[in-house]
Amino acid sequence: MEGKNILKLSHVLAFLLLASLFQSLMARDLISDGIEVLQLPVENDGESVCPGKQSWPELVGKSAIYAKEVIQKENPNVNDIRVFYPGMIGPFNYVCGRVLLVVNWKAIVQITPTIG
C-alpha cells in the first residue's frame, strides 16, 4: 500500500516538474515574434463590422426553435444558425452571417447567441 502512495507522489512530482518547464503561450508573444494572430472584427467609430443585430441575450432560457425564428426575423443577414449541444466544439473562424446557439440536451439556449 505504501509503495502505491510513493508511486502516485512520484507521478505528481514528475508532472509538476514538466509543467514548470513550459511557458504560457500569449498572443502578444506571438506578435512580438512576427507571427500573424487572428483578430476578430471590432467596432470602428461605433459602427459594427457585421450588419444588423449582433447578440440576443433575451433568448437565454428559450427553446432553440423559438430562438432561430427570432434571430432570422431580427437580422435577415443571418443565413446560418448552428445548434451546439454540450461537449461539441464550435468553429474557429468568424462569419458575419452565422449565429451559434449553445443549448442543453433539452434544446434550451444556455449562452447568449451572438454572431460569429
b/e map 53-71, b = 16+ CB within 10 Å = bbebeebeebebeebbebb
As its CATH architecture, domain 57-115 has 2-Layer Sandwich (3.30)
Q: Tens of pLDDT along the chain (116 residues)?
A: 577 788 888 888 888 777 777 666 555 555 555 666 555 555 555 556 788 888 999 999 999 999 999 999 999 999 999 999 988 888 888 888 899 999 999 999 999 999 88
pTM of the model: 0.58
